[in-house]
Amino acid sequence: MTAPLQQVQDSSLVERIMAGDENALAALYDRYAGMLFAMLVRILRDASAAEEVLQDLFLQLWRGASRFDASRGSMAAWLLVIGRNRALSRLRGKERHEILADSEEFSIEAVPSPGNLENDAARAQLMQRLQGAMAALPSEQREAVELAYFEGMTQTEIAARVGCPLGTVKSRVRAAMQTLKQVFDDESTRQPGRL
Amino acid sequence: MNRHVNPEDSDLYALGALDGAEMQELEAHVRTCAQCAGEIDAARQRVALLGMAAPAVAPPARVKEALLRQVRAERIPEAHRAGVAKAERTDSGSRALRFAWLTPVFGVAAVIFAALAAGIWMKDSRDNRRIHELEGQLALAQTRSLEIARAADETDKLLGTPGTMRVALEQQAGWTSGRAGVLYNAKMGMVACSGWLPAPPEGKSYQLWLVPMEGKPVPLQVLSGGEWTQTLTAHVTPGMAAKAFAVTVEPKGGMPWPTGPKVLVGGVSQGE
């Protein structure tokens, strides 16, 4: 008896995708599309554009699943990194074909991540904790991180936007990331052996 | 760059926020330093998952449907498609003579069928487009409502904190409509603004500024205009004394310093 696809590990789903199993792709989509779409809408501020990037992202996964190496990192982080890069490229006005033609993007170094993000409950818990931690950050720290992550601004652009010295921006990002690091560390402690 | 990477720079690098020269210098060092490469990896882990901090919004079902349709289309092997086409051509050739008399009948039927199908297709297409638009609007509305809720919380915090000042922004000569009010607490470094402005000129945005007692104006928010009535919040360096608040017209997306005409201005009474 085989396990339902919802319970199958990402690495096994990727193997099935490589064998041409579209149900495996659908299972990965169901697992990560909500998380990705939220990020894409936040970056692009355009639901139609976010839908397009989301669809392209999974289509590229279908075409190039062999490039994912589960031993080097998690699928969740991999998709978030690539999805963010694509959304920011689009936001900056790169031509669509430039983004889609960038097949090398799928060869980027895998990104390890804390916790078992393949599990719906664990993923939801981490999302909730991250959202809580972001909301609890001092507003200027949160703003600096959000401008960098969701708007793709450089530190110089952030400094100009918020009207403060470059060094202050660095300190704010540093302090915010230290706080958020605690969330990831706690999550790893909650799920020992799942790193 | 021979020294190790500063932890602050690891996070900024992972966020993609380092400027060109600094980024190249860091990358050159990391290529030869395993310790710093490890630091960068750890920063990348953390930063990658920041996307999960966006409140979840489910994508419309049609995205998955379209994806799977495209995947299925790609799975049909070229050879199979070529084989089908060849069989269809051969088969139709042998039957052509026997059923030649049916051609006009099928022709008329085909025209009627095509007209009906086109009508149904156009209606479906209109409906699908409408559903598509509504789902898109819903997703955006969900995101905006979360932002509005956050702005409302911050405004409550402002209103409940001693030292918060209220500034009314007045229309400037040459502008016929628009108004706004600002709440500002210098100690918290927090600003909330609400009001109404007409739609901005083509290719332009409105931008709200804090004019400090000393130094250059600080950009706060880019305002869309039109139906802008909800409260927007922004943050500045705590302790900054304000002389005035102003809204100007700037190139779309805003500028780091004011370049366009003032639409609304409100001076801060020095007694506050």
Question: How does pLDDT run across A18-40, given as a tens digit for each residue?
Answer: 888 999 999 999 999 999 999 99
Q: With an 8 Å Cβ cutoff, are B8 and A80 in contact?
A: no
What separation in angstroms does the CA of B156 have from each of B153, B183, B189? 5, 11, 15
Minimum distance, in Å, between the CA of residue B115 and any CA atom of chain A: 31
The answer, yes or no, to whether residue A113 has pLDDT greater than 60, is no
- Helix (H) / strand (E) containing B184: strand B179-185
- CATH second-level architecture of A1-113? Orthogonal Bundle (1.10)
- Among A52-56, B85-89, B129-133, B187-191, the least confident range: B85-89
- Quick: pLDDT tens for B129-178: 666 667 666 666 666 666 666 677 777 788 888 889 989 998 888 877 78
pLDDT at residue number B77:
55
What separation in angstroms does the CA of A19 have from each of A13, A63, B66? 10, 11, 21
Cα within 13 Å of Cα(A133), Cβ side: 25
pTM (predicted TM-score): 0.58
What residue ranges of chain A are covered by domains with CATH 1.10.10.10?
Answer: 115-195
Minimum distance, in Å, between the CA of residue A193 and any CA atom of chain B: 17
The answer, yes or no, to whether residue A193 has pLDDT greater than 50, is no
Q: With an 8 Å Cβ cutoff, are B235 and A174 in contact?
A: no
Q: In chain B, what percentage of residues exceed pLDDT 70? A: 67
The answer, yes or no, to whether residue A103 has pLDDT greater than 50, is no
Banded pLDDT at A109 (limits 50, 70, 90): very low
- Helix (H) / strand (E) containing B181: strand B179-185
B231 CB contacts (<8 Å, ≥6 apart)?
B148, B151, B152, B155, B192, B193, B194
Q: With an 8 Å Cβ cutoff, are B52 and A51 in contact?
A: no
Domain A115-195 has CATH 1.10.10.1100: no
The answer, yes or no, to whether residue A170 has pLDDT greater than 80, is yes
- The ipTM, to two decimals, is 0.82
pLDDT at residue number B129:
66
Report for A29-38, A179-188, B175-184: range of highest mean pLDDT: A29-38
- Among A66-70, A155-159, B50-54, B80-84, the least confident range: B80-84
Between these two residues, B89 and B106, which has the higher pLDDT value?
A: B106
The answer, yes or no, to whether residue B237 has pLDDT greater than 60, is yes
pLDDT at residue number A104:
39
Q: With an 8 Å Cβ cutoff, are B63 and A51 in contact?
A: yes
Whether chain A has a CB inside 8 Å of the CB on B41: the answer is: yes
Pairwise CA distance, residues B146 & B158, whole Å:
18
What residue ranges of chain A are covered by domains with CATH 1.10.1740.10?
Answer: 1-113
Whether chain A has a CB inside 8 Å of the CB on B190: the answer is: yes
